[in-house]
């Protein structure tokens, strides 16, 4: 049986952990200014949301596929 060590769909957990580490690392900068924290949270949520959608629907059609369908 072929064992796959590398699974793209599991990357979301790696990114999630990295975000927590990054938050801890830049704690002072993020907590000192509200704007920094809000920006970090918004971007992180956007990234994670894209990852979750990708994990739930791995075969979601790409923008190129949709454009191709409508332009041709």
Binding to other proteins by residue 24, rule CB under 8 A?
no
CA dist., res. 62 & res. 53, Å (int): 12
Tokens of 20: 């927590």
- For other proteins, which is the closer residue by CB, 1 or 70? 70
If binding is defined by CB under 8 A, does position 5 make contact with other proteins? no
**26-45 residues near other proteins, rule: CB under 8 A:** 26, 29-30, 33, 35-36, 39-40, 43-44
CB of 3 to other proteins, least distance (A): 15
Give every CB contact of residue 21 below 8 A, 6+ residues apart in sequence.
Answer: none
Query: Of how many residues is the chain composed?
Result: 72
């Amino acid at each position: 049986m072929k064992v796959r060590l590398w699974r793209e769909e599991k990357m979301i957990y790696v990114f999630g952990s990295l975000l927590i580490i990054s938050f801890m690392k830049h704690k002072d900068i993020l907590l000192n200014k509200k704007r920094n924290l809000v920006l970090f949270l918004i971007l992180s949520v956007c990234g994670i949301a894209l990852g979750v959608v990708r994990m739930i629907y791995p075969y979601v059609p790409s923008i190129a596929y949709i454009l191709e369908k409508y332009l041709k």
